Every structure is written in C-alpha cells, then in structure tokens.
Amino acid sequence: MKTPAAVLYGLNQPFVVEEVEVDPPGPHQVLVEMAAGGVCHSDWSVVTGTIAKEFPIILGHEGSARVLETGPGVTLVKAGDPVVLSVLPDCGACRYCANGRPNFCDGLLIYRGGTLADGSIRFHRNGQRVRHFNGVSSFSRYAVVPERAAVPIDPRVPLDKAALLGCAVSTGVGAVLFTAKVTPGSTMAVIGVGGVGLNAIQGGTLVSAGKIIAVDVHDHKLETAREFGATHVVNSRTTDPVQAMLDLTDGLGVDFVFECIGRPETVQQGFGALAKGGTAVAVGIAPKDALISIPPQQLVYGERRLIGSFYGSTRPRTDFALLVDLYLAGRLKLDQLVTREWKLSEINEAFRAMNAGEVARGIINQYE
C-alpha cells in the first residue's frame, strides 16, 4: 500500500514529504496506522549525524498507533488494538531481557542498519529501499513494526498524546523512578527541561522529592517546569548553575541531578552540584567522542556516583501500563506536555521550532 511519509535523504537535509510504498507485515510484524509521532531531539541527532544511520530513512521513534493488520505468527496484539511503540523492540529472550533489563537487549543490534528483525526493509520508493528508524518510523502514516514494539494500552488514553509515552515520558520519568530510584524528601535537580527534562521533574513529584530544581537557559521553559512540579528554577544563562544549586540546598548540594541535554559541560556541572552520597544521572545523549572530566576525589570523599540512564531503564511491556495508570489517575501530565501539533507536511517547521526551544514537546499528528 501507499503511505505519506517524511523521508530523510542525507545529513543536514530537509525532510521530503512524499508517497512511499509499504509492504504487508511479515512474520511477527504488524501494520499500524500512526496516531502521532513525537518531535524529539534524537531524531534531529540523526539529521546532524550525532546518531549515525544510513539513508534514505523514515525517522520518528516516538509513536502511537492502531494495529491494522497482523503478520503470520503474531500473538501479542490484534487488529484494532491501540498501541504505544517502544523505541527498543526487545527480543524477549536474551540474557538482558531475561534479567528484566530489556533496554540492554542484545537482539536490538540488528535494527541499527535500519532493518526490521528479519533483516527486511518494508518501505521503498521507485525501487529504492527506505530504511526504518528503530523499527518505529512514526513520521509515516502507515508503517510495519515488530510485533514486540507494539505495546497495547488502555483505550481511554487519547491515542495521539500517548505517543509521548514511547520516549519522552518513559525516558524522563523512568530515569527518576526506575534508574535512580529517587527517595521521598530527597533534593533533586534537572538540567535541561525539554520534553525529557519536564518528565524527570514530574517523576520527582510522583516520588515526592523535596526540592526539585529546574535548570535551563530559556525562561519560558522554566515557567513550564514550574507547572510540572519544579519548586525552584535557575536560568543558567544569567546565573552560575552550580552555585545556585548549592545555595538552594543550604550549601549541601543536591541528592540527585539529572542531565537531560547530552553535553559534557552540563554533566560536569551536575556532578559538581552533588551532595555527599549524591547521584548524577546522565540522561541526554552526548556526541560519541565527547569526554567529561571530574575530580576522582569527589567520587571517593562523599561516595558520589555518576551513572547513566538509557530509556529510563523502562520495561515497556510492564511500565507503559504503569505510566498509563498514573495518567488515568490524574497523577501524570500528558496532555499538557504537547504544546504544539503539526501536520506531517509541516515537519520541517516542527523541527525548526524544537531547535529554537519554542515548544515543550511537539507532535506530528497524523489525524489530519
């Protein structure tokens, strides 16, 4: 069948919205109709080359959809199911999956070349193969995705907004709940309050953190951070963020800091603002060759920790439902996260606005 899709033909090129052919689903694959795709910095990292991919490719790794057709052997979903697409379609069988760490899944490696699990590519145009992005490709109206990537959710959640559960919410909330396991009453800071950072903040409110300090260079983002639960805000363009974090905690430093940008300098700032026994969590994805430098003495005296969080340590098949329950109970903000919606044809404008820091989170709404 034919589908409208935004195709990226090379580094630093604009997206080309055009008609692409999508093949029927193969074994353990499903054809889905997208509801929405989130506009995320990780997509832009492919445009700029920070995340290396082959071209042409259909990006969009944050997505929600309805299952239209199932391929042979599919048992986990059926036609009509509303689903959130997992960025990491785990194999379910490797050592890490068996240990409850599907974000480390060894079976994911084969997606790096832009294929599905069986090595196939289901998109093509004029005889040319067009690659998948993490088996999601939510910037296509229709897509074939791995069965295990399609996680059914409660139909009461607005399906277009649910797209954010697939990346921004799970990464940000997950970093706080599942990776760092922030304890009630502890102090925390979030550096960079875009889509992921705002979710780290609302993760802090979910676990009843004490002070929640938001750090960013945009005042309007800091205002949004307050709406999501930040108790204090710091504009690091006008204020030294490390000193500010120390001042706000009576000189002690923060117990947890989440770096949600992916820059060596801000990881170092976060580490520098830690209290004794504190944990700095790198959430943002830095360029491959970036290095950080921290004083090892600080690790020893005070037993500070520097750790990473990948996909919020999320286990999609259990944790998406947990996040949905929190949303339905009115405890997790989802609708307020989507500050702007675009049509697929407006995708280049959507990324311009994201890069300009104009939106908390934008989505490409496929219901035009």
Nearest distance from residue 109's CB to Zn ion, in Å? 10
State the minimum distance, in angstroms, from the CB of residue 35 to Zn ion.
Answer: 17
Choose one: 67-75, 83-91, 116-124, 348-356; the region binding Zn ion (CB under 5 A).
Answer: 83-91
Residue 39 interacts with Zn ion (CB under 5 A)? no
Interacting residue with Zn ion among 22, 59, 105, 338 (CB under 5 A): 105
Angstrom CA distances, 284 to 175, 191, 269, 330, 348, stand at: 11, 10, 14, 27, 23
Under rule CB under 5 A, how many of the chain's residues touch Zn ion?
A: 9
* Residue with smaller CB distance to Zn ion, 274 or 323: 323
Q: Does 103 bind Zn ion (CB under 5 A)?
A: no
Query: Is 163 a binder of Zn ion (CB under 5 A)?
Result: no
When the beta carbons of 114 and 278 are compared against Zn ion, the nearer one is 114
CB of 252 to Zn ion, least distance (A): 33
Between CA 290 and CA 300, with CA 295 as vertex, the angle to 5 degrees is 125
Question: Letter for the amino acid at 4?
Answer: P
- The stretch near Zn ion (CB under 5 A) out of 9-17, 101-109, 123-131, 264-272 is 101-109
Site string for Zn ion, 42-71 (x = CB under 5 A): x-----------------------------
CA 270-284-178 angle, 5° bins: 85
User: Is residue 126 exposed (0-12), middle (13-18) or buried (19+ Cβ within 10 Å)?
Assistant: exposed
Q: Which region, judged by CB under 5 A, interacts with Zn ion, from 41-49, 118-126, 156-164, 303-311?
A: 41-49
Residue number with CB closer to Zn ion (177 or 273): 177
If binding is defined by CB under 5 A, does position 90 make contact with Zn ion? yes
The yes or no reply on residue 242 touching Zn ion (CB under 5 A) is no
Does residue 165 interact with Zn ion by CB under 5 A?
A: no
Among left, alpha and beta (phi > 0; psi -120 to 50; other), residue 160 is alpha
User: Does the protein bind Zn ion through residue 167 (CB under 5 A)?
Assistant: yes
Please state, in angstroms and rounded to a whole number, the distance separating the CA atoms of residues 119 and 107: 12
Is residue 91 a contact point for Zn ion (CB under 5 A)? yes
Residues 284-313 close enough to bind Zn ion by CB under 5 A: none
107 binds Zn ion (CB under 5 A): yes
Helices (H), 59-206: 95-98, 168-174, 195-206
| Residue of 163, 113, 105, 104 lying closest to 135 (CA atoms) | 113
Which residue, 91 or 282, is less far from Zn ion as judged by CB? 91
Q: Cβ distance 281 to 175 under 8 Å?
A: yes
Tell me the angle at which helices 219-227 and 195-206 cross, rounded to the nearest 10 degrees. Answer: 30
- What are the structure tokens assigned to 276, written together? 């004794």
Residue 40 within binding range of Zn ion, rule CB under 5 A: yes
Q: For the chain, what is the radius of gyration of the CA atoms?
A: 20
Figure out which of the listed residues 22, 97, 222, 275 binds Zn ion, where binding follows CB under 5 A: 97
Quick one: which of 251, 249, 253, 221 has its CA closest to 236? 221
Nearest to 227 by CA among 186, 192, 199: 199
Binding region for Zn ion (CB under 5 A):
40, 42, 90-91, 94, 97, 105, 107, 167
